[in-house]
Amino acid sequence: MKNYDHKKIEQKWQKEWDKKKLYRVEDSIKGKENFYTLVEFTYPSGNLHVGHWYAFAVPDIYARYKRMQGYNVLYPMGFDAFGLPAENAAIKLGADPKEWTYKQMDKMRTQLGSMGAMFDWEREIVSCDPEYYKWTQWMFNKFLEKDLVYRDVTSVNWCPNDKTVLANEQVVDGACERCGAQVEQRNQEQWMLRITKYADRLIDDLDKLAWPEEIKSAQRNWIGRSEGSEIEFKVKGIDEKIKVFTTRADTLFGVTYVVLAPEHESVESLELQVENKKEVEQYITNTKKKSELDRQQSKEKTGVELKGVKAINPSNGEEIPVWVADYVLAGYGTGAVMAVPAHDERDFEFAKKFDLKIKYVNRPNVFSTSRINSPGNSGIYESPSKKLDEIIEFCTEPLCDDDAVLVNSDLYNNLSCVEARQKITKAVGGRVVKTYRLRDWGISRQRYWGTPIPIVYDPEGKAHPVPDEYLPWLLPTDVDHTPDGTSPLARSKELLKRTEKIFGKGWKPEVETMDTFVDSSWYFYRYLDAKNSEEFASKKSREAWMPINLYMGGAEHTTMHLLYSRFWVKAMHHLGLVNEDEAYTVRRNRGLILGPDGNKMSKSKNNVVDPDEIVERLGADTVRMYLAFMGPYGVTVNYPWDPNGVVGVRRFLERVWKLKEKIGKGNATTLLHKVTKKITEDMAEYKFNTAIAQMMILINEWDKVDEILEDEYKILLQILSPFAPHMTEELWINLGEKESIHLSEWPKWDERKVIDEFLKIVVQVNGKVRAEIMVTPNTEEEEVKTLALKDKAVIPWIEGKEVKRVIYVKGRLVSIVL
């Protein structure tokens, strides 16, 4: 073939590899170590976009590199096939969600095939396949047995017009995205998973994972463990107590009011005492119109005082007002806070707005490891009451660290802030508690297209699991998808009949389906044994592949999917179902590919890049390689697609193609060894961009000579093969090789040829580069320094001045300090 005809080559090899089952993966190969590379399986949207290429084709480069290094590499693909879009298609177009989904998958399978990735399609999984969700249901039952599942009430967005629950993203400015009706907050009972039971382990076990610190940190913050105190405030005149949660019990003396979340139960039980009932009711009604996010985002604090109600500060017996405000969330802590406006910014804003008392706590003599901030001069200053002087004397510094040590207090010498908080908590009869921002996971959805929750209700309404022998508990098909406020499954006669037939008259099926995050919490196990009808995955296959060596995915999954699946594995581990309690040894987040204009690709912005068109025009090898060339992989940086840039990569491949004509006698090049080494190292860190740059440097050198050696050219092809698997295979076989280039071994380099004969040492005078000197790698430090000081270009800069110091950085520079 004279010219590089990507179309012919790519089709030919994709067919050939398929025929030869080149990418079939066995659970074990003698003498080879297994390596499990995972990428997040995809929702079958029906059209592969550039983002999919970035997510799947670039990790394929890495998987191929590992395979050439002698690993038995698993790089599987599947479909996260349950979800809203299929249901919306059913509502809008009258489509059958199942048919619709499978059609999309067929289309995507073809498109995925055009990548030339090493997916083993025999291991493909589809989460909406009954053979898959059977195991999702089976695990649900196991969790239920172990009390990891329970029923509870949570608040959801409700559109009264469409009669459906809305995702936060479907609520725009408090209105339903579809019909514009005012969205309400509504309480709904649902099935919950006790993820909070694992909160401590989910935080603590992060320490043993080789994950980037920013991901760990995001997870820690999401879980939001804080150690604090629960302290009771009595309500004056009646037998009612308000329990508040605070992390700063040491500021108790500075409390000037108490705030309840609008949903707090005391709001109701204090009804008789409240003098401004109407006003309070109005406020609560208004709150229901706001989503939680709105409540946290709003800069303007709102609230209403419960007039006629006074709480009593347990530290000094002071009577303080009680407020209701929506900046306090019902789901966190106890849903009530003690406000210390002098030492908390939000409380301060609130106090200022409603003209509440601000009271500074007496400053202690503390030794803090951080800088000490003065509370400032504004506001009212009051001395602490005599009664609790000794308790509040310590640790009232608002910004002191948890590990600050109090040194100057006679009574509490060497007491840390944390200890001080414990002491004061006890003194007022409170208790020290741990609390989490993380909430239990509500998995119920009033949707059709999801895994049916395998529960049935007896005539008394008591819930029972569907026994394992009846799994998969099939999704019925006789369903009307029009939203009418009930779950679509409630309208299935087949489901009801089935339930009655198995369990008896009067029994009713659960009509909810599961959150799709459940499906994706364990999918990586199913790849290992995708066709097993006896187990979710055999012990043998799990032991062969788990834990996953590398999990590449989107940064948007950092807190939710990644935490849900970590919880899932931990729960499975405790049930004795799997060996490991963490599934992902290494996790890397990737960024996004933006449109050429630097914006997120979207139809409305008219900046969508169609990969199919570019593959047709320039080839899959070019697209794969360009995506790898844009920037380092595995960091959350977004790169805009540059239509010119992709042509540059195509040019590179054409130059490599043409180089075959230069094969001849030539001279061996030491550059090849350097390049091979650098590329091998870069690939290990997912720096595919600089690896490619090295190949470009190499062929720039080869362009300058008349002939190159065949063996050296072949090494280039091997290094290039993970990036451009089709073209390199064609060239490799044409050079007479019998076996696929992808079965060949990653090239080695000669370390002796990597070392330079001479080193260029930079000479700086007072930090400015003034000269360069050449030395051999084993020139002694003293000699290099002497050479630097004597250098012609250096002398004018140091003449007549005193040389104070001379610093030598081996192999790099000499720094002369005057």
Site for RNA in 328-367 (CB under 7 A): none
Cβ burial of 332 (10 Å; 0-12, 13-18, 19+) is middle
Please identify which residue in 207, 767, 799, 800 interacts with RNA, judged by CB under 7 A: 767
- What residues from 122 to 161 belong to the interface with RNA (CB under 7 A)? 156-157
Please identify which residue in 57, 139, 165, 623 interacts with RNA, judged by CB under 7 A: 165
- What residues from 650 to 709 belong to the interface with RNA (CB under 7 A)? 651-652, 654-655, 687, 689-690, 692-693, 696-697, 700, 703
Query: Of the ranges 420-428, 469-477, 522-530, 630-638, which one interacts with RNA (CB under 7 A)?
Result: 630-638
* Residue 233 or 449 having the CB closest to RNA: 449
Report d(CA 209, CA 712) in Å as an integer.
40
- What residues from 588 to 607 belong to the interface with RNA (CB under 7 A)? 592, 598, 600
Q: How far is CA 470 from CA 447, 497, 502, 536, 783, in A?
A: 22, 14, 9, 16, 83
Q: Does 214 bind RNA (CB under 7 A)?
A: yes
Beta strands in 716-767 (DSSP E): 759-765
Give residue 588's identity as a one-letter amino acid code: R
- What residues from 433 to 452 belong to the interface with RNA (CB under 7 A)? 437-439, 441-442, 444-447
- 646 touches 631 (CB < 8 A): no
Q: List the structure tokens of 784.
A: 């290099």
Please identify which residue in 33, 106, 319, 772 interacts with RNA, judged by CB under 7 A: 772
Report d(CA 554, CA 215) in Å as an integer.
11
φ, ψ at 485 (rounded to 5°): 95, -15
Residues in contact with RNA, shown as a per-residue x/- string from 730 to 759 under the rule CB under 7 A: ------------------------------
Query: Please, where are the H alpha helices in 114-187?
Result: 130-145
* Residue 309 Cβ vs RNA, minimum distance, rounded to whole Å: 27
Label residue 31 left, alpha or beta by phi (over 0 means left) and psi (-120 to 50 means alpha).
left
Residues in contact with RNA, shown as a per-residue x/- string from 275 to 304 under the rule CB under 7 A: -----------------xx--xx-x-----
- What residues from 222 to 261 belong to the interface with RNA (CB under 7 A)? 222, 224
Instruction: Tell me the torsion sign for CA atoms 59, 64, 69, 74.
Output: positive
* Residue 273 Cβ vs RNA, minimum distance, rounded to whole Å: 31
- What residues from 541 to 560 belong to the interface with RNA (CB under 7 A)? 554-560
* Residue 631 Cβ vs RNA, minimum distance, rounded to whole Å: 4
* Residue 610 Cβ vs RNA, minimum distance, rounded to whole Å: 19
Please identify which residue in 207, 213, 300, 613 interacts with RNA, judged by CB under 7 A: 213
Q: Does 515 bind RNA (CB under 7 A)?
A: yes
Please identify which residue in 187, 217, 734, 776 interacts with RNA, judged by CB under 7 A: 217
* Residue 339 Cβ vs RNA, minimum distance, rounded to whole Å: 16
Please identify which residue in 22, 49, 70, 84 interacts with RNA, judged by CB under 7 A: 84
Report d(CA 728, CA 720) in Å as an integer.
7
Strands 415-416 and 257-260: unpaired
Please identify which residue in 19, 30, 386, 805 interacts with RNA, judged by CB under 7 A: 805
* Residue 502 or 696 having the CB closest to RNA: 696
Total binding residues toward RNA, as defined by CB under 7 A: 95
Exposure string of 547-561, with b = 16+ CB inside 10 Å and e = fewer, is: bbbbbbbbbebbbeb
Give residue 485's identity as a one-letter amino acid code: G
Return the number of other C-beta atoms located less than 10 Å from residue 665's C-beta: 9
Question: What three-state secondary structure class fits 264?
Answer: coil
| Side-chain-facing half-sphere of 16: CA atoms under 13 Å | 14
Angle subtended at Cα 479 by Cα 475 and Cα 481, rounded to the nearest 5 degrees: 115
Residues in contact with RNA, shown as a per-residue x/- string from 2 to 41 under the rule CB under 7 A: ----------------------------------------
